[in-house]
């Protein structure tokens, strides 16, 4: 398993895994949930979420404490990611944010950009939801 590093498509202060399998192993080992963000480098909303919203100190700190982050490519998703996306109620625009248990069960998902306060609320509530 490769170590988590910078987001493969965007400037981000957070460490990202690039495969779901790596992220799930890290989540089980650390007893944290998984935040899987599926996006595109050319998507302005995706860039804003990763480079601005997630870069906010309170969001970055909460992610570090409670989530393992995985970056998924919307144009060429790995099969396990594509299967999760089909479970989403709405998946019509990127970024797609999928909140998973450490076992890979979809808990909550959102589609499209999220203002920082809403994104933080999603992170707080996701472990208590069932897709």
Domains of the chain are: 20-128 (3.40.30.10)
How far lies 44's CA from each of 47, 101, 118, in Å?
Answer: 5, 28, 18
The predicted-structure confidence for 63-121, as pLDDT tens digits, reads as follows 989 999 999 999 999 999 999 999 887 777 899 999 999 999 999 999 998 899 999 99
As a whole number, mean pLDDT of residues 20-28 equals 96
Cα(89)–Cα(50) distance, integer angstroms: 22
Q: Does the pLDDT at position 131 exceed 60?
A: no
Beta-carbon neighbour count of residue 3 at 10 Å? 8
The predicted-structure confidence for 29-45, as pLDDT tens digits, reads as follows 999 999 999 999 889 99
Nearest to 38 by CA among 105, 103, 85, 3: 85
């Amino acid at each position: 398993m490769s170590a988590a590093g910078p987001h493969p498509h965007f400037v981000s202060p957070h460490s990202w895994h690039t495969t779901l399998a790596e992220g799930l192993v890290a989540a089980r080992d650390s007893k944290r949930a998984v935040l899987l963000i599926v996006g595109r480098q050319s998507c302005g909303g995706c860039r804003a979420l990763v480079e601005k919203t997630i870069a906010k100190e309170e969001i970055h700190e909460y992610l570090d404490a409670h989530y393992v982050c995985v970056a998924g490519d919307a144009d060429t998703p790995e099969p396990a990611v594509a299967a999760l996306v089909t479970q989403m109620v709405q998946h019509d625009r990127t970024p797609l944010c999928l909140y998973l248990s450490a076992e890979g069960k979809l808990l909550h998902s959102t589609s499209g950009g999220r203002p920082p306060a809403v994104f933080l609320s999603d992170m707080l509530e996701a472990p208590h939801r069932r897709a």
